[in-house]
């Protein structure tokens, strides 16, 4: 029988208003890793809280070694705002913002911005106690689910391989450091402190997809099996993840301006050479321009989208009107 404790982390905002971040702490009663699983650090990436909720139900019964800390809503204020960051401004880019992007702000600052105060509270209560970290995010629905390990850390790579998610990608330029350089990304803090970590990007922001929730729950269970914290072998398609670094990829572009209409191909699925990926319906000459796959492979990106965090009106980022030359699919060559 596991000991499932609901706990809370106290945080105070710049304006003096306090709030609490709830989390579960599960302890098998046996020695083993202490794994931190974090989700919704960005408030519009909300498939992973439900993945953690499903995982917790199973882990309560099946955890046999070590312990875990499960935080489904790392950034509740951003979730309430239904956008990525606590202090969110439309059209502003937060990619490398170490002050307002929670994921870039570790270990935080008790007197800093709202994001820095939040990372400080999480860091000093749960982050420093953990030996491993799985940080769950979501990128836009055009890109397939991908696991992002630290390439020169064998445990991180082993965890990533165990997920059986569609794709794996890593940055070979980023070598593990002997100590973290602050402020940093959460997974960098772990890897540079000698603690294995990885991030997972699920497909689709602002919503949940049944398929992603199932895949995500399986991925977490598989990681815990690979760490011997649960019984059994990882499940899922044995050929996954496909390591993007090892494969050639081709970007398929729109031939003319118009609406990009997808065919029945599936993101993350296989396509044949010559198979229809869809067509562009031109608003200039109202003709249909079919787009055929130039090679056999797997669809890593599919659809017309731009980075919603970089446009003034995020909804326009999802508009399927493509400009000539714009990428509408990326195929990872077999």
Over its C-alpha atoms, the chain yields an Rg (Å, rounded) of 21
Cβ distance to Zn ion smaller for residue 34 or 137: 137
Angle between helices 154-162 and 210-226 (to 10 degrees): 130
What's the rounded Cα separation, in Å, for the pair 76 and 137? Answer: 14
- Supply the minimum distance, in Å, between the C-beta of residue 40 and Zn ion: 9
Q: Which residue has the tokens 């000698």?
A: 194
Asked whether the beta carbons of 143 and 201 are under 8 A apart, the reply is yes
Measured from the Cβ of residue 29, the count of other Cβ atoms closer than 10 Å reads 12
Question: Tokens standing for 113?
Answer: 């911005």
Site for Zn ion in 272-301 (CB under 5 A): none
**137 near Zn ion, judged by CB under 5 A:** yes
Number of residues in contact with Zn ion, rule: CB under 5 A? 3
- Supply the minimum distance, in Å, between the C-beta of residue 323 and Zn ion: 27
**164 near Zn ion, judged by CB under 5 A:** no
Tell me the window of 64-72, 131-139, 246-254, 285-293 that interacts with Zn ion (CB under 5 A): 131-139
Cβ distance to Zn ion smaller for residue 203 or 293: 203
Contacts of 82 (CB under 8 A, 6+ apart): 43, 44, 206
**85 near Zn ion, judged by CB under 5 A:** no
- Supply the minimum distance, in Å, between the C-beta of residue 41 and Zn ion: 6
Site for Zn ion in 36-55 (CB under 5 A): 42, 45
- Supply the minimum distance, in Å, between the C-beta of residue 181 and Zn ion: 20
Cβ distance to Zn ion smaller for residue 45 or 188: 45
Contacts of 172 (CB under 8 A, 6+ apart): 151, 245
Length of the chain: 334
H or E element: which one contains 34? strand 34-39
- Supply the minimum distance, in Å, between the C-beta of residue 146 and Zn ion: 12
Cβ distance to Zn ion smaller for residue 35 or 199: 199
- Supply the minimum distance, in Å, between the C-beta of residue 7 and Zn ion: 24
Point out which residues bind Zn ion (CB under 5 A). 42, 45, 137
């Amino acid at each position: 029988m596991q000991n499932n404790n609901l706990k809370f982390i106290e945080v105070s905002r710049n304006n003096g208003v306090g709030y609490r971040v709830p989390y579960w702490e599960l302890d098998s009663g046996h020695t083993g890793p202490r794994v931190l699983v974090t989700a919704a650090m960005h408030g519009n990436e909300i498939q992973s809280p439900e993945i953690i909720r499903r995982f917790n139900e199973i882990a309560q019964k099946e955890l046999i070694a070590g312990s875990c800390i499960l935080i489904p809503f790392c950034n509740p204020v951003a979730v309430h705002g239904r956008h990525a960051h606590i202090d969110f401004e439309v059209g502003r880019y937060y990619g490398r913002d170490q002050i307002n992007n929670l994921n870039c702000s570790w270990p935080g600052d008790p007197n800093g911005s709202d994001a820095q105060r939040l990372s400080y509270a999480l860091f000093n209560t749960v982050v420093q106690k953990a030996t491993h970290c799985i940080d769950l995010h979501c990128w836009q629905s055009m890109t397939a689910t991908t696991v992002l390990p630290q390439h020169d850390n064998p445990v991180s790579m082993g965890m990533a391989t165990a997920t059986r998610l569609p794709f794996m990608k890593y940055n070979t330029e980023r070598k593990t450091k002997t100590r973290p350089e602050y402020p940093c990304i959460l997974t960098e803090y772990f890897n540079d402190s000698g603690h294995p970590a990885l991030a997972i990007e699920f497909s689709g922001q602002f919503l949940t997809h049944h398929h992603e929730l199932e895949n995500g729950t399986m991925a977490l269970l598989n990681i815990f099996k690979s760490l011997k914290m649960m019984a059994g072998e990882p499940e899922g398609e044995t050929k996954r993840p496909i390591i993007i670094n090892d494969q050639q990829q081709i970007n398929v572009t729109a031939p003319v301006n118009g609406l990009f209409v997808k065919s029945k191909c599936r993101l993350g699925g296989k396509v044949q050479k010559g198979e229809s990926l869809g067509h562009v319906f031109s608003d200039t000459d109202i003709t249909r321009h079919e787009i055929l796959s130039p090679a056999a492979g797997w669809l890593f990106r599919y659809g017309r989208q731009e980075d919603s965090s970089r446009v003034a009106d995020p909804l326009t980022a999802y508009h399927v009107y493509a400009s000539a030359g714009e990428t509408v699919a990326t195929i990872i060559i077999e």
